[in-house]
Amino acid sequence: MSPFALLYEALTSIVREIRRIAPMAAGIVWGVASVFILVAVGRGFETTQRQSLEALGDSFVLLRVNRATTTRGDVRANAFVRLNGEDMAAIRAGAPAVEALSPKANNWFVQAFRGGNITRITAVGVEPEYADIVHVALAEGRWLDRNDVDQELPVCVLGWGAREDLFADEPYIGEQIQIVFSRNAGDDTVIRKLTVIGALRDEELAGDEIYTSHRRVVFLPFPTWERMSPRDFQFFVMRPRSIELKATALAEVRAVLGRRHGFDADNTNTLVPYFDAFERKAKIDAVFGGLEIFLGAVGALILLLGAVGVANVVLMSVAARTFEFGLRRALGCKRRWIFGQVFLEAGLVCLASGGIGFLLGLIGVELSGHMPLPEGFAAPQAELATAWLPGALLFLVSIGAAVWPALRAARMPVAQALHGGSL
């Protein structure tokens, strides 16, 4: 029997047994498509989380000095600790585990305007080192430098949301904006003019998280902010010399501030990490490491079910055709051709089903990419490895499951097969 004749016989048998084969084929299609879509959705979500972290930076801590537990009687008990530039200098001198430091002095929800364009922004005073600690991607212009700080220049860098609100598509480098600083609980206000020297790119994927987002921020040199702002600050960013020294750096900062402001340096609640990029990165790694294990378990279960289905259907098909195989053997057909036909039938069904499952999964991923997704979810990502790995494994397992029924059909004695004997 020639290979072409063997292929023809296998295809003819598949068509004849289509009602018995269809449920098995549908299971393989569903398994491949499901694993493909699940993995693509997981990859999309993981990409979103990692890009969101990269847009901010992954090696810093945003800190806030909390209510103080005083060691000097009850006069300052439960008072908010307010920081200034001298505190930052003291931390740099007294905390050797801290590699880089910058205040993040905020004036929340202040009004900014330019001509008829008005918006609410957060005015933030920072040192030039802020861009080395936190990821700051410029779209145009330049970042704050040491001369801006030393000269206390009235310059600013706009977040992309603030730039869109105030300038839209108009040129903005060298233009001026005005910011309203409130004093004395809003009873007194001061309007300050700032010259725009740069603006940030739109890289953030998450929503307007008030403590970390740069969307509607106007960055000022810290001394300029101190001169314009009516109060001191509570937030600052810090990068330790290594992740292993993070706890040491936090302890050193608490000790320095505790000596300066009279609170218990051993009380960890006095220095609160509002955003810990190290911890978030570790959580992302742990979550998506667990997700890969989960998807692997799901894939293994689908493989097992597919193998059982293939073995069962092929065995039933062979049992129903024992007389046919016996007659072929009696007419001189060799065992290897019987084995080859049964094995080829299973292989063709698995290959066709896996291909259809891959196409359906690809269509599902493409359609879901055009649907409105919750915040924090990127469109599912169809990767070649994602597509071929489950399909190839399912194909191999299914083919392996067909070996035993094919061997039983090929080894059945001719007389037993002609009498319709069971496998």
| Whether residue 239 sits in one domain with residue 124 | yes
In a domain, 184, yes or no: yes
How would residue 76 be classed by pLDDT, with cut points 50, 70 and 90?
very low
Q: Are residues 257 and 293 in the same domain?
A: no
Taking only the tens place, the pLDDT of each residue in 311-348 is 677 777 766 667 776 676 677 777 777 777 777 777 78
What is the pTM for the complete model shown?
0.69
* Residue 50 within any structural domain of the chain: yes
Query: Are both 49 and 65 inside the same structural domain?
Result: no
The answer as to whether 189 is a domain residue is yes
411 with 290, same domain: the answer is yes
Query: From residue 142, how far is each of 94, 123, 200 by CA, in Å?
Result: 31, 18, 9
Which of 16-30, 77-91, 96-110, 163-177 is least confident?
16-30
- The pLDDT, as a whole number, for residue 68 is 59
Q: Is the dihedral of CA 259, 265, 271, 273 positive or negative?
A: positive
Q: How many domains does the chain have?
A: 2
Q: Return the closest-CA partner of residue 236 out of 150, 141, 125.
A: 125
Q: Do 26 and 154 have their domain in common?
A: no
User: Are 46 and 174 within one domain?
Assistant: no
292 vs 117 pLDDT, higher one: 117
* Most confident of the following: 48-62, 132-146, 251-265, 305-319: 132-146
Q: Is residue 329 part of a domain?
A: yes
Q: What is the pLDDT of residues 148-163, one digit of tens each?
A: 999 999 999 999 999 9
SS (H, E, C) the chain: CCHHHHHHHHHHHHHHCHHHHHHHHHHHHHHHHHHHHHHHHHHHHHHHHHHHHHHHCCCCEEEEECECCECCCCCCCCCECCECHHHHHHHHHHCCCEEEEEECEEEEEEEEEECCEEEEEEEEEECCCHHHHCCCCEEEECCCCHHHHHCCCCEEEECHHHHHHHHCCCCCCCCEEEEEEEECCCCEEEEEEEEEEEEECCCCCCCCCCCCCCCCEEEEEHHHHHHHCCCCECEEEEEECCHHHHHHHHHHHHHHHHHHHCECCCCHHHEEEEEEHHHHHHHHHHHHHHHHHHHHHHHHHHHHHHHHHHHHHHHHHHHHCHHHHHHHHHCCCCHHHHHHHHHHHHHHHHHHHHHHHHHHHHHHHHHHHCCCCCCCCCCCCCCHHHHHHHHHHHHHHHHHHHHHHHHHHHHCCHHHHHCCCCC
Domain shared by 193 and 335, yes or no: no
User: Residue 374 and residue 293: Cα distance in Å, rounded?
Assistant: 24
Provide the b/e sequence for 261-293 (b: ≥16 CB within 10 Å): bbbebeeeebbebebbbbeebeebeeebeebee
80 strand-pairing partners: 67
Q: What is the mean pLDDT of the chain?
A: 80
Determine the pLDDT at residue 301.
74
List CB contacts of 162: < 8 A, sequence separation 6 or more. 112, 119, 121, 215, 216, 217, 218
Residues 331 and 409 in one domain: yes
CA distance 275 to 210: 11
Residue 423 lies in a domain: no
**Do residues 23 and 104 share a domain?**
no
Across the range 349-354, mean pLDDT stands at 79
Residues 273 and 288: their CA atoms lie apart, in Å, by 24
Question: Residues 249, 290: one domain?
Answer: no
Judgement on whether residues 138 and 176 belong to the same structural domain of the protein: yes
**Residues spanned by the domain of 196:** 61-276
pLDDT > 90? residue 194: yes
What is the mean predicted confidence (pLDDT) over 80-108? 92
Residue ending a domain, choose from 224, 242, 276: 276
Question: 185 with 304, same domain?
Answer: no
What pLDDT, on a 0 to 100 scale, did the predictor assign at position 143?
A: 97
> What average pLDDT does this structure show over 379-385?
67
What's the pLDDT at 72? 47
Among 223, 253, 276, the domain-final residue is 276
From 276, 302, 319, the end of a domain falls on 276
